Amino acid sequence: MLLNEIQSHLKNADLLYNASQIKEALIAQANQINQYLKDIPETSQPPVMLPVMNGGLIYAGQLLPLITLPVEIDYIHATRYRNTTKGHELDWKVYPQSDLSDRLVIVLDDIFDEGHTLEAIVNYCKEKNANSILTSVLVTKEHNRRDVSLAVDFSALSVPDRYVFGYGMDYKGQLRNLDGIYAV
Domain with 74 in it: what CATH number? 3.40.50.2020
pLDDT at 82: 55
Structural domain of residue 57, as residue ranges? 15-38+48-183
- Separation of CA 96 from chain center: 15
- Residue 84 in this model has a pLDDT that exceeds 80: no
- Residue 62 in this model has a pLDDT that exceeds 90: yes
pLDDT tens track for 10-46: 999 999 999 999 999 999 999 999 999 999 988 889 9
pLDDT at 43: 84
pLDDT at 87: 58
Distance CA 45, CA 49 (A): 12
Is 171 part of any domain?
yes
What are φ and ψ of residue 82, in 5° steps?
45, 50
Contacts of 94 (CB under 8 A, 6+ apart): 53, 75, 76, 77
pLDDT at 2: 83
Q: What is the pTM of this model?
A: 0.92
Cα-Cα end-to-end distance for the chain: 17
Count of structural domains within the chain:
1
